[in-house]
Structure 1
Amino acid sequence: MTTARHHDIVIVGGGAAGIATASSLLRRRPSLDIAVIEPSEDHFYQPGWTMVGAGVFQAPVTRRAMASVMPKAVTWVRQAAATFQPDHNQVTLADGATLTYQVLVVAPGIRLAWEKIAGLEETLGSNGVTSNYRYDLAPYTWELVQGLKSGRAIFSQPPMPIKCAGAPQKAMYLSCDAWEEAGVLGNIDVEFRNAGAVLFGVADYVPALMEYVERYGIQLKLGSNLVAVDGPSRTATFATAEGEVQRTFDMLHVVPPQVAPQFVADSPLAAESGFVDVDQFTLQHVRYPNVFGAGDAGSMPNAKTAAAARKQAPLVAVNALAVLDGKAPPIDYDGYGSCPLTVERGKIILAEFGYGGKLLPSFPEWLIDGTRPARLSWLLKSEVLPWVYWNGMLKGHEWLVRPKPRLTLRDAA
């Protein structure tokens, strides 16, 4: 029988949250023995895919080899985690090998459940059906936008939770801006079919977004959930309160339903939702004190964005080290997330908010008013944030997100 390999800290997931947490841990304690479980050979800057779908970025700039971002001091376990045995401080890998730990950080992201929309998988990337939620499909979005001169374009959004709740709208606004620039917007019937009851979950940003809905002549259909796609006939079926509605399309941008990874949902670590069952403030597991959740896989009620992972990673590092030292987690998470809403090429509404929809701007209002479209916000997303991601966040630099002593967040949430 193979002996389990032991590490001080095991991190499941080599995405934004996992790599950033590993780097933040090592900056605080370089001697740590950390293992990162990650089977992928590529690492993606997913927030860039919206820009790929708008012809602003080329897809390859959003991809790098996993080996180039994996911290050199960690043990990279190049396969998938299969099951958790938290009562024995153990993770079992896909090949049956096991790792044991003193502290576990679970950060495998969220699963895109394309299969939950009937007929979708068979037609993705053809018949006018695309999605910026996949690296290989985002360029097809731009191809469709450039080619469409008239007809109907539908943009869908499934029920929450999804990563980057603004991304469905970003694709739509940037497409409309391109059609407006080309002089064909008036010939295109644009529909936004959102399964939710509101345009955006934080009310302060809705007025500015509605100005663009009206400017582009978008038909806003709330409570409309995509359930089936027939690619050859270019027909989409939506579930509504009044029953199913079928709509033909020339372009359909789909955002898939999103769920917890199955190996997490099936584990003792899962909440009823399937996500890692953590305290929303400390990100510590509610039943296993030496387990933490980070990024999209956590049960916290924050917006699932890369900016949220950037804020969570150093916090998990501090709290995990406290547990490793036999102490209580000293830092609380305020639910921060950011969604730069690209409403036209060159302007962004910089939505930054935390638990309860509280606005949490990073910059003074005189510099950037996040509730209004701004060119400076566009420069932030197009030039600054990609650089910060690759050269800051993934390397443990904690600009604007360095953990502070515990705030009185619990009574306010």
Structure 2
Amino acid sequence: CPGAAIKIAYLAEDRFTKNFVRNRTKVIYNTAMGKIFSVDKYADSLNRIAKERDIQVNLQTELTEIHSDKHEAVFKDIKTGESKVFNYNLLHVVPPMGPPSFIAESKIGNAAGWVDVDKYTLQHVKYPNIFSLGDSSSAPTSKTAAAISVQSGVLKKNLLAAINGNFDPSLAAKYDGYASCPLLVGRDKLVLAEFSGYTLKPMETFPFDQGVERKSMYYLTKE
């Protein structure tokens, strides 16, 4: 989930504020991504909240070294190649993630190591008896539980059709790239991002602006 790393910055800032130590704390969020979030609407919301709460956001900044004995983290500016040292008291790191190596080493993976499927039908592009969804699928959308819940319905219909010998790609169920990410920005507030990973456009469920942080959305996902 692309929002996983940013959540801890907001949650930590919220905790520091509630514990009356915020005025002695500097909160910095470094990410190798070029944007704080891939969908512009929610990126605008997250940037606004970060600015309101004085959270420093550094984009295209990649962690390269940690000197734990000195409480130093070294980050590289991806654009310039220059390195910068950040001193820290608390460091939260989300490591780089990717597909299992055995997929890349097999004949079912693409060049990037994902199970190579049609992004709409979730059927393998070469082997018609293989379907894939979720974290190992090449479908170019966020790897979230919400995405998998929608993919599973599509995959079930198409897999059963294939088993019964009547799968037709032109008539098959289609996955539209739907994904969702509950972006926690405090102990009891979140921005419920719903979007297509294919178009990077919002696909919101509720009749109000989901780009606004709300307690109602927190309790919706909490329960």
- State if a TM-score over 0.5 links the two structures: yes
2:131 aligned to which of 278, 288, 292: 292
State the 1:182 CA deviation: 1.5
Number of residue-to-residue matches in the alignment: 217
Q: Does residue 207 of structure 2 align to residue 364 of structure 1?
A: yes
Quote the Cα distance in structure 2 between the aligned partners of 1:166 and 1:287.
33
State the 1:205 CA deviation: 1.1
1:200 counterpart residue number:
37
1:349 counterpart residue number:
191
Q: Any idea what SS the aligned residue of 2:30 has?
A: strand
| 1:264 maps to amino acid | I
State the 1:253 CA deviation: 0.6
Q: Which has the higher contact order (CA 8 A, sep 6+)?
A: 1
Quote the Cα distance in structure 2 between the aligned partners of 1:380 and 1:207.
23
1:184 counterpart residue number:
21
1:339 counterpart residue number:
181
Could you list the structure 1 runs, at least 4 aligned residues long, displaced by more than 6 angstroms after superposition: none
State the 1:312 CA deviation: 0.7
Quote the Cα distance in structure 1 between the aligned partners of 2:98 and 2:45.
30
Quote the Cα distance in structure 1 between the aligned partners of 2:87 and 2:177.
39
Q: Any idea what SS the aligned residue of 1:252 has?
A: coil
Gaps of 5+ in 2: none
Q: Any idea what SS the aligned residue of 1:196 has?
A: coil
Q: Any idea what SS the aligned residue of 2:23 has?
A: helix
State the 1:290 CA deviation: 1.0
Contact 1:282/1:331 (8 A) holds in 2: yes
Give me the CA root mean square deviation: 1.1
The structure with the greater share of residues assigned to strand is 1
Contact 1:235/1:247 (8 A) holds in 2: yes
Q: Does residue 165 of structure 2 align to residue 322 of structure 1?
A: no
1:214 counterpart residue number:
51
Percent identical pairs in the alignment equals: 37
1:37 counterpart residue number:
none
Deviations 1:126-147 (A, max 9, x none): xxxxxxxxxxxxxxxxxxxxxx
Contact 1:294/1:316 (8 A) holds in 2: yes
Deviations 1:133-191 (A, max 9, x none): xxxxxxxxxxxxxxxxxxxxxxxxxxxxxxx1101111110110111111211211111
TM-score (norm 1): 0.51
Q: Any idea what SS the aligned residue of 1:326 has?
A: coil
TM-score (norm 2): 0.94
For the pair shown, which has the larger CA radius of gyration, 1 or 2? 1
Deviations 1:228-287 (A, max 9, x none): 212222111111133121212111110100111011111100011101001110111010
Q: Any idea what SS the aligned residue of 1:292 has?
A: coil
Q: Does residue 207 of structure 2 align to residue 373 of structure 1?
A: no
State the 1:363 CA deviation: 2.5
Contact 2:104/2:114 (8 A) holds in 1: yes
